[in-house]
Structure 1
Amino acid sequence: MSNEPITLSAGDAEVTVRPDNGGRVAGLRVGGTELLRQGDRFGCFPMVPWCGRIREGRFRNGAVSHQMPLNAPPHAIHGTTRDGAWHPARVTADEVVLTYDLVEPWPYTGRVTQAIALTPESLTLTMAVETYDDSFPAQIGWHPWFNRNLGGADAQLDFSPAWQEERGDDHLPTGNRLEPKPGPWDDCFGMPGGVDVTLTWPGRLELKVTSPEEWVVVYDEQEAAVCVEPQTGPPNGLNTLPRLVTPLEPLEATTTWRWRRL
């Protein structure tokens, strides 16, 4: 299969997937209205094998220390797969399955599988990281850039996190948990019952981002877009809350976006 853009459709919803550009969802149109910020860096990209920043790009796996490239100095950010080419393993009218084999600079062998499934009212993203070799810590997440403004209406955010991770001057969680503060945010929140965030464009559309995972980063400091990022751990989680991928136990995560007209 080629790495050309793939279009999925269901009802009046249409999704464009870019295997060649980080396996990202490049567009989501509902009734002809584009919900995602356009551009090669935007849309919605998978964050894997880590999410957000790693402190100074360093993480440990047991006694072994590894250094990742500092692509957001002084840190490494958002994993290694968002700039690579993914392989379409299966394509139907409303679903695509993509795979990506982990390569340098990531020091471990493994395979990432991402399924993107569209219905007339929802988009579900599912990802798994597996290995048949050495075990390693990993994270999974998604980084959607939702357009802040749809047809004159600015997005309003509604969610009820149990806590907000205190953010240090280096943009990383300090380990302290705070009562959630008002935005704007570039912050990580805990939602132990599962991620549940609603974006409302008054008079236009309501979109609900859910995930069984309990971590979400909300970034709304840009004028053009609002980001709601479900993930399997907090920023710097490879160091503070590692989730091991082993030959017997892959790491899996899913998120669903569900929308309705207003």
Structure 2
Amino acid sequence: MSNKEITLTAGDAEVTVQPGNGGRIGGLRIGGTELLRQGERYGSFPMVPWCGRIRDGRFRDGATVHQMPLNAGPNAIHGTARDGAWSTARATTDEAVITYDLVDPWPYSGRITQVVRLAPDALTLTMSVETYESSFPAQIGWHPWFNRTLDGSAVRLDFSPAWQEERGEDHLPTGNRVEPRPGPWDDCFGMPDGVDVTLTWPERLELKVTSPEQWVVVYDEQEAAVCVEPQTGPPNGLNTLPRLVTPLEPLEATTTWSWRRL
């Protein structure tokens, strides 16, 4: 079991998987053009066992309150798996399977498996959280940083959410759902028929981010990149909308990024 970088290829698409750097996708190149923001903390990282911020870093499981390290001001953000070294279970030319065992500060034992599958016109990411011991609440999501401009062409975002989670001053959902508002965004949206967001770099590329999940966070407040993050629930969801991982039922999620040249 190694955590060396893996390169997948299919057609003129190339993906770099970095098990040793939090299980992230380090790069996605189409015909030699890099779509993901480069850098140790960028690319696209898995958000697991929670997505976005947890208020005060605390979540409740039954009568027990757990405290996570505060790494986003007064809150805990984006899970623990992106900070750990994953292991490679299997790798071929166009598919990699990587795993991560949950450790402190996460209070439960479990294993995360991520399958990265590349086709000439699509990248599919599938993640599962499983346990053989006590059940626990969890979330799964992905946090890609797509370059705002490709070869001088600036990205356009197109999506039609059913609602927007009203955001409080602490950047966490208040619990109210509101009509979608214009950007810039650091906001969570509901898409009950599944996540479906199109990024278009005019005259260059169209890329669709889809997922059967119903939640997406869109973050476009930075100049260099835009983030389209499909996830199994909203920020602070361990408290407001927990999904349970049990010995009988793992939590699973998938997202596909498909593209075509313009």
Alignment TM-score > 0.5, same fold: yes
**Aligned pairs, number:** 262
Partner of 1:85: 85
Q: Distance in 2 between the 1:213 and 1:233 partners?
A: 8
Q: What corresponds to 2:132 in structure 1?
A: 132
1:62 and 1:110 map into 2 onto residues whose CA distance is 18
1:1-262 superposed matches below 5 A? 1-262=1-262
Q: Write the distance in 2 (CA, Å) between the matches of 1:20 and 1:250.
A: 24
2:106, 2:122 → 1: CA distance? 33
Shift of 1:240: 0.1
TM-score (norm 2): 1.00
Matched letter for residue 97 of structure 2: V
Task: Letter of the 1:107 partner, please give it.
Answer: P
Q: Secondary structure at 2:83's aligned position in 1?
A: coil
d(CA) in 1 for partners of 2:103 and 2:54?
A: 18
SS in 2 for 1:239: helix
CA distance in 2, matches of 1:181, 1:32: 36
RMSD of aligned Cα (Å):
0.4
- Post-superposition shift, 1:63? 0.5
How far residue 73 of structure 1 moved from its aligned partner, in angstroms, is 1.5
Q: Which runs of no fewer than 5 residues in structure 2 stay unpaired?
A: none
Identity percentage of aligned residues = 81
How far off is 1:231 after superposition?
A: 0.1
Amino acid at match of 1:38: Q
Q: Which runs of 4+ in 1 moved over 4 A?
A: none
Note the C-alpha offset of 1:2: 2.4
Distance 2:188 2:232 in 1: 12
- What secondary structure, in the 3-state scheme, does the structure 2 residue paired with 1:145 have? strand
Q: Distance in 2 between matches of 1:257 and 1:99?
A: 21
Question: In structure 1, how many angstroms separate the alpha carbons of the residues matched to 2:173 and 2:209?
Answer: 23
Amino acid at match of 2:188: C
CA–CA distance in structure 2, aligned partners of residues 176 and 60 of structure 1: 21
Structure 1 residues not aligned, in runs of 5+:
none
Structure-1-length-normalised TM-score = 1.00
Equivalent-residue separation in structure 2 for 1:98 and 1:63 (angstroms): 34
Equivalent position amino acid for 2:196 in 1: D
